[in-house]
A and B are shown apart, each in its own frame.
Chain A
Amino acid sequence: MSAELIVASIAAALTAGTAVLIAATGEMLVEKAGIYNIGIDGMMLTGGLAGIAAAATTDSLLLALLAAVVAGALLAGVFGVAVIAFRADMIMAGFALVFIATGLCAQLGHKWERVPSEVRIPQWDIPLLSKIPYVGPSVFENLSLVYIALLLPIAMHLFLSHTRAGLNIRTIGESPAAADAAGIAVNRTRMVCILVGGAFAGIAGAFLTLGVLGTWLPGATAGQGWIAFGLVIFAGWRPLWLLLGATLYGALGTLGSVGQALGWNVPTEVFSALPYVGTLVVLVVLAWQRSRKGGWSAWPTSLGASFSRSGG
């Protein structure tokens, strides 16, 4: 296995894991506040299409990313109103997002389907660091969003563990009633978290369309939103572990091209299925390990419990 191949594979693995990393970091925040939004895939699609559409009409990357953020947050807002104001079932509302986004995006995006986007997320070669032999080209010559994505879980960790707002959010996730008694605005905070989570998913979608694919496809996410949901479980609700999970996922996704380069006699379908099967196996094995040891996960105890003062 040549050095060039290893370098190229690491770079590809980082790129392949970036979208799920961004989306999962957003979902981590939402779940820490005690809400789970399984509609990540829908918000990613919406963000991805909004990014492409805004890029095509404005020729500005910044506006494209902004459109992705707003689109993801808007869809998340629908979810938020449903589960907070109406106390709708979180799983059903999450599903609804995926269906609505899948259908609408396929219809509205027809115009841009397979049309190459002029605006792309640019590559950044980090000065000095990219000159390091092997490490430089594999890590520090990547799409700009990749670096930001790698920093996101660290920022999320610092925010959740070391700020007052982060503590409030974690309190809500553990016990909404206690948080309310402590004077924290439970539902308002949850709504903000849901919107931020949607914005993250929107950016993740735009990374796929404007960064990886360079165009719009109705199946642009290929289920990565669901992987992101699994990634939060994998990480045991600890943000820093998302880095490991996303890298693993990216590596599984890159193995196919490595195998092709090395001439392995394995059907390509095996490699295509690997990220999904890998996610499943890792989740099961980890759960088995944790059931024997226990106590490792930072699972928010009130995850999935809606809140209103009058109880119920």
Chain B
Amino acid sequence: MADGTPRAASRSLAAASPWRIERRALPGPVAPYRVAAILAGVLAALVFGPVVANVDAGTFYSTVWTATFGSQFGFSNVLLLATPLLFTALAACVPYRLRLWNIGADGQMFLGAWVAAAIAFSVLPDATGVLLMGAMIAGSAVGGAVWILMPALARAYLGVNEIVTTLMLNFAALYWLVYWATNPWRDPVSAAGVQSKAIPDAAQLPTLTLGLITIPVGFVGAIVIAALLWGYFRSSKLGYELRIIRESAGAAAYAGIPIQRRIVGVMLIGGALGGIGGAIEMMGNVYMYSDALSSNIGYTGIVVAILAAGSELAAIPIAVLFASMVAGGNALSTAGVQSNLVIAVLGFTVLVAALGDGLARFRLVRREASVPADAGGKHGSQLDDAGERAEVNV
């Protein structure tokens, strides 16, 4: 029997300790496990970082500290990195409300930025100020949404796995970008790398300064959008419908909620947010249509969304934290460390979070002579009546 040995082990363990592990009737809250996952990731990076990076501890910590929260320049840079990351995190968070995965934020960024660049280069070359920037950002939202339209429709009406489809479009978008950046919009002066000519000065976003800290306007915008989305889903009819669909698709269908349209809806919102992120990154940091617009920002955004458990509000501090990890990694990469190592740390946090989702199904209960009547509700006490069946074979 597959479960024979672990079951025996847990039984002997249970006999020795006053605690026992009990299955919850419904999975418990995951938030504590997500927080634990983030802490584990940060701790792992700080403890094992110097070893894996093969630099002495003093250099490691001082480099990372200066590059993140320890200097005004470092902190400004963290905010700059956090800006597109928060957008891609939101792009994943909104579909995650229906437990759908938007893996395509990188592609949506490229397409959003493409529309924005097209507006700046060709459609409204003479426009300036708010009109130009507004048009670019609105256009980028449309671009990102169009880019996810096919996966959204295929998921809603045909049940095609959205992980595969949104991911495939990342690669397609990358080649789309390479074509436009190196052919029609080629930089006539510098031919190096995949980058277009610069976007007009009028299309470059301003920054705010707070003392010596530079705050990108895009970052403020991302925070406002995150808060608005969170509040809207919390209090609106749509948010309520999404919660019902997530808890029970059958009940939602019975209540007359158009599930398929809601699936398309959240995915399009996600795509639009990814598109805006691309335009903001181009207008506020990169200043040209280039593959530098996203170096795994879309994938990192998924990690942020996972650890935020889909909460747009929780995504804000997590995005800043992860941006600081990336900034630390980049600073160390001059010392010969691959900044890719940060990705491994992100993976570790996701793994811990995934374990936490499993653990949230259980709880520790003190072993007492009399079993509490409300142990796990009605369902739970039925399990208790069945004796050891309530004890879990991990």
Contacts and interface: CB of A to CB of B under 8 A. Distances in A.
Interface of A: 38, 78, 82-83, 85-89, 91-93, 95-104, 106-107, 110, 180, 183, 185-189, 218, 222-223, 226-227, 229-230, 233, 267, 269-270, 272-273, 276-277, 279-280, 283-284, 287-288, 291, 308-312
Nearest to A272: B175
Contact of A99 (B23, B163, B172, B343): B343
Contact of B340 (A102, A188, A312): A102
Contact of A309 (B3, B168, B345): B3
Interface stretch (B128-136, B138-146, B213-221, B356-364): B356-364
Interface string B158-170: 1111011101111
A110 B338 contact: yes
A284 B154 contact: yes
Contacts of A223: 167, 170-171
Interface stretch (B65-73, B79-87, B272-280, B299-307): B299-307
Interface of B: 1-3, 6, 23-25, 52, 101, 150-151, 154, 157-161, 163-165, 167-172, 174-176, 178-179, 183, 299, 302-303, 306, 337-338, 340-348, 350-351, 353-359, 361, 383, 389-394
Contacts, number: 183
A46 to B, nearest CB: 12
Nearest to A233: B161
Given A87-B358, A269-B175, A280 B165 contact: yes
Contacts of A99: 299, 303, 343-344, 346-348, 350
B383 A92 contact: no
18 contacts: A78-B351, A88-B351, A89-B358, A91-B101, A92-B351, A93-B354, A95-B347, A95-B350, A100-B344, A107-B337, A180-B2, A218-B340, A229-B163, A269-B178, A273-B172, A273-B175, A287-B160, A291-B157
Given A93-B351, A104-B344, A283-B160, A310 B167 contact: no
Nearest to B151: A280
B344 A276 contact: no
A277 B351 CA distance: 30
Contact of A185 (B2, B52, B337, B354): B2
B345 A283 contact: no
A97 to B, nearest CB: 7
A284 B168 CA distance: 12
A117 B337 CA distance: 24
